[in-house]
Every structure is written in structure tokens, then in C-alpha cells.
Amino acid sequence: MVKQKRENYAVIGLGQFGSAICQSLVDANQEVLAIDIDEEKVNEFTNIVTRAVIADAQDEDTMKELEIGSFDHVFISIGQNIQTSIMATLLTKELGAKDVICKAENESHARVLEKIGADQIVRPERDMARRIVFHHLQPNIVNYLMLSDQVTMAEVKVDNPNFVGKSLNELAVRNTYHINVIAIKTEGKVNLSPDANDKLRLNDLISVVGYTTDVNQFNEDAQSSSK
């Protein structure tokens, strides 16, 4: 097993999202500095993270003292105070942070964060809503990751009898659906280099990547024709 790299993280804002980030990083054995202006929230993490500090993320002197620019990754998860989020992001980037991940409340907030240098922007509520709707509309897709607005990587379950016993070549997966098969999981065993002559079995999980519309079409066809 490959040993997970240990890095240092700063999490600014200990609301629901920031708290979940902190806990997940601690569970992954990472070094975590938790920052919030609310003493009560900071106290909750004193015995959980590497260090928990009461601080104003808009205060340049304080952020310099905490050496925020030296962290491998900085999460800015400040909630509804958009101005504070923007100022904290701007200051963190100016102090040299290499990777700044920001939570945005809405599209306008996200655009501003992007313009001032945020390296990654997340909108948890929107992303969760999309996942719920996607799974509702595409129940046979077990897992998926949207690589962009148009490209999706997904794990599709095969339960269409017309697919069972046929090879990728016989199904003409690439020519018909314009997707790439990157792995096939059969009864817990993963084939990371699927061959065109590999035959599919009932309940196989096929990892594919392609345009979302093509992945959706493949998913529909891979479902049982009786549904």
C-alpha cells in the first residue's frame, strides 16, 4: 500500500462545511490549522486539529504571524459573509499561498473569487443537488465525477441481458457511444486495462469517460431492457 503523503492545511471558517473539511483532513492524518473569529467554534476543534486559532482572516498582520502563505493548501470556507471571504482569499494569495480552495455562496461570488486568484472554487449545496438529481435520473450510474461542464467520468452498472456475454468490441462501445472504457469491475476484482475482447458479465461496473450526453446514453442502454 502506498503511504499517503502528509501535508499541512489551513482551514479558515469553521461553519458546517469548514468543520467537515477539518474532520476529514484529521481522519486522513493531515496537519491542520483551524481558524475562525468565533471563540466557541475554535474551542470545539482545540483537541481535534493540530492547532486551532481565534483570528480575523482579514487582518494581514495576523495572517503573516500564522504564516498562511507557507501552507500546502488553504481552504477558505467562510459562510454567508461574502466580503470577508473575498478579502481573506485576496490576502491569502498575496501572502503566497500556492493552493487556495474557496467555498462560494453563489455564481457572482464564484466569479469574483476566480478573478482574484482562487485556485479552486466549490459550491457544496449546488454540487450536492446536482449529484442527487443526477443519481435520480441515472440510477444505474453508481459513481460519477464531472470533469468539466461537458465531460463526465462514471461507473455504470450493467444489467441489460443484451450486453451480458458480449465484448466491448462486439458492442462497439467507442464507435457507438464515443466514450472510453478505463476499467471493468467484476465481483470485486478490477481490470484496469480492459481489452476490446473482454466480455461483460451481469452486474459488472464499467468505468467510462466521455461527454456527459454520451455517458448518459451508454448508461440508458446498459440498463435492463425490461425497465
pLDDT in tens, 177-220: 999 999 999 988 999 888 889 999 999 999 999 998 999 899 88
Task: State the average pLDDT over residues 126-137.
Answer: 71
**What pLDDT, on the 0 to 100 scale, is given for residue 126?**
76
Residue 183: burial class (beta carbons within 10 Å; 0-12, 13-18, 19+)? middle
Across all residues in the chain, what is the average pLDDT?
A: 89
Q: Which residues contact 97 (CB under 8 A, 6 or more apart)?
A: 68, 69, 71, 74
| Residue percentage of the chain with pLDDT more than 70 | 92
**What fold is seen in the domain 133-222?**
Alpha-Beta Plaits (3.30.70)
**What pLDDT, on the 0 to 100 scale, is given for residue 6?**
84
51-to-4, 5, 69, 101, 212 alpha-carbon distances in Å = 21, 19, 16, 20, 42
Q: Where are the domains of the chain?
A: 8-126, 133-222
Q: Which amino acid type is present at position 217?
A: Q
**What pLDDT, on the 0 to 100 scale, is given for residue 133?**
75
Write phi, then psi, for 103 (nearest 5 degrees): -90, 130
Q: For residue 2, name the pLDDT band (cuts at 50, 70, 90).
A: very low
Q: How far apart are the first and last CA of the chain?
A: 41
Q: Which grid coordinates belong to 134?
A: 443526477
Contact between residue 97 and residue 71 where contact means Cβ atoms under 8 Å apart: yes
Q: In terms of CATH, what superfamily is 8-126? A: NAD(P)-binding Rossmann-like Domain (3.40.50.720)
d(CA 57, CA 22): 17
Does residue 48 surpass a pLDDT of 80?
Answer: yes
Q: Which residues contact 67 (CB under 8 A, 6 or more apart)?
A: none
